[in-house]
């Protein structure tokens, strides 16, 4: 954190998006996280993402639970809607918000504690619902806000700051998500914006639940030598399974792709992803392939990154449940609340 406020200076040659907005326009309040926190880099990547996608601030809702990670929504898009909910309960609030207005772009920011411990139940059921949202886990392997105890994502053998090793088996959110039917699963690193920003864009434009597990080192409690989630160890252990490029709608594809080894997927909300394979024997369109390759990498002590699984065909929550597409605030009150007579006649049907 800093004592001074970040000065607001718009340079003449500052880049502007199609809405005429600058990156500064998509910023939020000054972060109060520790200097060097990975979460702040993710904030920077999200700002870049919504800037590049020309998202109107009033069409974005950002939600979170509790924890260091869950402070993030305050630090970007201060002109957008936001909800800082109860610990681990962000998916419920997101479900509600999405039901009320499915036209909003929805970004949920959570942490490894908020998702994999107290919020595990809510997390898995949001996946089952295929809620149309981008769910970002800022994963640092520790409970930073309560001084660095191991979280559920800490690797076996990774040590705490004072040297004690973790002995419990970690939960890998990517494997969990794929196994219970998530339709977009990716992993990235806060210190690699070249990879992170296209994944965030693709996740936001995906129809359904897009889970992005971002390793985000805790600079205060988990950036030491024995940690497997420090800046250095993450750089050393990460291996990119697929290079992901997000191509905006109606734009020319400027790079030549090797047709044989690359895969194009059209995204429901606009644009497409082009996936260039680093692993020959791997298709991110095949669930078994994805789980296998993640496990194999983990056995070798590697952390696989990139877009690990994508399924653009499964209907999302609103389609499955056949809920109303129109935002509730645009529906006349009489239709929304047809009155006691209608209610009584409806109830008669169930007697």
Partner 1 sequence: MQPTDTKDPQYYHKVVDCQWGCPAHTDVPAYIRHIAQGEFTQAYMVNRESNVFPGILGRVCDRPCEPACRRVRVEEEPVAICRLKRVAGDLKGDIKELLPSIPDKKNGKKIAIVGGGCASLTVANDLLPIGYEVDIFESLPVMGGLIRSNIPKFRLPPEVIDEEFNIIVEQGANLYLNHPIESMKELLKESYDAFFIGTGAPKGRELDLPGRNDTDEVHIGISWLESVAFEHIEKVGKKVLIIGGGNTAMDCCRTSLRLGADNVKVMYRGTRDRMKSSDWELEPALEENVELVLNHSPDEYVIEDGKLVGMRFSVLDWFKDEKGKLTSKKIDDVVIPCDTVILAIGQENSFPWVERDIGLEFDQWEVPIVDPVTYQSTIKGLFFGGDAAFGPKNIIEAVEHGHQAAISIHKYCENQALTDRLEYGMNLVTEKMGLHEWSYSNDYGYENRLEVPTVPMNERFKDINIEVEMGFEPGQFQQEVERCLNCDIQTDFAANLCIECDACIDICPVNCLMITENDDEESLRKKIKTPADNLEQDLFVSEDLPHTGRVMLKDEDVCIHCGLCAERCPTAAWDMKKFTLKVPYALDEANSTNTNATKKAV
Residues at the contact surface with partner 1, assessed by CB under 8 A: 1-9, 11, 13-15, 23-24, 31, 34-38, 40-41, 43-44, 190-191, 193, 217, 219, 223, 231-232, 235
Residue closer to partner 1 by CB (options 132, 237) is 237
Q: From the CB of 84, what's the least distance to partner 1, in Å? A: 21
Read off the tokens for 225. Answer: 């030598």
Residue closer to partner 1 by CB (options 185, 219) is 219
Q: From the CB of 338, what's the least distance to partner 1, in Å? A: 50
Q: From the CB of 9, what's the least distance to partner 1, in Å? A: 5
Q: From the CB of 238, what's the least distance to partner 1, in Å? A: 11
Residue closer to partner 1 by CB (options 31, 102) is 31
- Closest by alpha carbon to 42, among 7, 17, 68? 68
Compute the distance between CA of residue 351 and CA of residue 55 in angstroms, rounded to an integer: 48
Residue closer to partner 1 by CB (options 15, 331) is 15
E strands along 45-145, which residues? 60-64, 81-84, 105-111, 133-139, 142-143
Q: From the CB of 98, what's the least distance to partner 1, in Å? A: 29
Q: From the CB of 13, what's the least distance to partner 1, in Å? A: 6
Q: From the CB of 223, what's the least distance to partner 1, in Å? A: 7
Residue closer to partner 1 by CB (options 6, 147) is 6
Compute the distance between CA of residue 50 and CA of residue 26 in angstroms, rounded to an integer: 8
Read off the tokens for 254. Answer: 């400027």
Residue closer to partner 1 by CB (options 34, 145) is 34
Whether the CB-CB separation of 168 and 160 falls below 8 Å is answered with: no
Compute the distance between CA of residue 221 and CA of residue 195 in angstroms, rounded to an integer: 25
E strands along the chain, which residues? 60-64, 81-84, 105-111, 133-139, 142-143, 149-150, 184-189, 209-215, 238-240, 242-247, 262-266, 272-277, 303-310
Compute the distance between CA of residue 224 and CA of residue 16 in angstroms, rounded to an integer: 39
Compute the distance between CA of residue 73 and CA of residue 60 in angstroms, rounded to an integer: 11
Residue closer to partner 1 by CB (options 194, 252) is 194
Q: From the CB of 199, what's the least distance to partner 1, in Å? A: 16
Whether the CB-CB separation of 262 and 274 falls below 8 Å is answered with: yes
Residue closer to partner 1 by CB (options 47, 202) is 47
Q: Give just the sign of the alpha carbon dihedral 308, 309, 312, 317.
A: negative
């Amino acid at each position: 954190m800093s004592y001074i406020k970040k000065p607001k200076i718009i340079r003449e040659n500052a880049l502007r998006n199609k809405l005429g907005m600058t990156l500064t326009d998509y910023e939020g309040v000054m972060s109060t996280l520790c200097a060097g926190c990975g979460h702040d880099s993710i904030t920077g990547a999200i700002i870049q993402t919504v800037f590049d996608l020309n998202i109107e601030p009033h069409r974005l809702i950002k939600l979170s639970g509790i924890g260091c990670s869950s402070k993030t929504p305050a630090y970007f898009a201060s002109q957008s809607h936001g909800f800082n909910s109860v610990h681990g309960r962000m998916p419920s609030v997101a479900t509600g918000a999405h039901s009320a207005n499915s036209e909003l772009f929805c970004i949920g920011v959570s942490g490894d504690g908020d998702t994999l411990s107290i919020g595990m139940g809510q997390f898995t059921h949001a996946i089952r619902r295929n809620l149309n949202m981008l769910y970002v886990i800022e994963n640092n392997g520790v409970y930073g806000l309560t001084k660095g105890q191991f979280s559920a994502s800490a690797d076996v053998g990774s040590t705490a700051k004072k040297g004690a090793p973790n002995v419990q088996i970690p939960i890998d959110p990517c494997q969990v998500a794929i196994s219970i039917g998530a339709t977009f699963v990716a992993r990235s690193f806060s210190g690699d914006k070249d990879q992170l920003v296209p994944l965030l864009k693709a996740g936001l434009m995906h129809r359904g639940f897009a889970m992005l597990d971002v390793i985000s080192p805790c600079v205060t409690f988990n950036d030491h030598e024995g940690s497997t989630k420090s800046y250095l160890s993450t750089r050393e252990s990460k291996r990119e399974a697929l290079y992901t490029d997000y191509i905006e709608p109606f734009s020319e594809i400027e790079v030549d792709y090797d047709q044989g080894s690359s895969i194009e997927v059209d995204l429901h909300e606009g644009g497409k992803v082009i996936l260039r394979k680093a692993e020959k024997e791997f298709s991110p369109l095949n669930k078994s392939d994805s789980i296998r390759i993640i496990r194999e990498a983990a056995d070798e002590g590697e952390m696989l990154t990139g877009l690990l699984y994508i399924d653009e065909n499964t209907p999302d929550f609103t389609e499955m449940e056949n809920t109303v597409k129109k935002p509730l605030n645009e529906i006349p009150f009489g239709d929304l609340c047809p009155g006691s007579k209608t209610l009584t006649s409806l109830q008669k049907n169930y007697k």
